Amino acid sequence: MGGMRDIIAFAAEGIEALAVAIIVVAIVHGSIRFLIDITQKSDSAYEQYKAHLGKGLLLGLEFLVAADVVRTVVLDPTLQNVMILGLLVVIRTFLSWSLVVEIEGAWPWQRAKSVEGTSVESTSVESTSVEG
């Protein structure tokens, strides 16, 4: 049974390493794209940079949560560790939501309402113009 625990611990560490790599690659790639956009005098260079970094951070955070879940649930499922995991998930969820707000300018549930409202309005305008 010790061998399986070692494999799972190694997998959790691999997932964490992947998360760090994703974040680093997003920062490097986003920064290079930002520098290229600035030299081409793009008006939306900063917004694109911010969105690119935010998406990389979001993906990295998701992998970090997955690694914590694997480590806590499989390797050491004590009440204290599960409570710590819950706190980490809450903190990372808040960070994820904050990044989404920063990237998209609205909370995820507000974005869904505005998308629904837009599609309903555009559909009604299209059907009105076809009939008229």
> Model confidence over 8-43: pLDDT tens digits?
889 999 999 999 999 999 999 999 999 998 988 888
> Model confidence over 112-129: pLDDT tens digits?
665 555 544 444 444 444
For the question of whether the overall pTM of this predicted structure is more than 0.85, the answer is no
Closest residue by Cα to residue 15 from 76, 60, 75, 80: 60
Burial 6-22, CB ≥16 within 10 A → b, else e: eeeeeebeebbebbeeb
User: How far is the C-alpha of 77 from the C-alpha of 23, rounded, in Å?
Assistant: 28
Q: Which residues contact 26 (CB under 8 A, 6 or more apart)?
A: 52, 53, 55, 56, 57, 59, 60
> Model confidence over 51-70: pLDDT tens digits?
889 889 989 988 998 898 88
Q: Is the pLDDT of residue 84 over 50?
A: yes
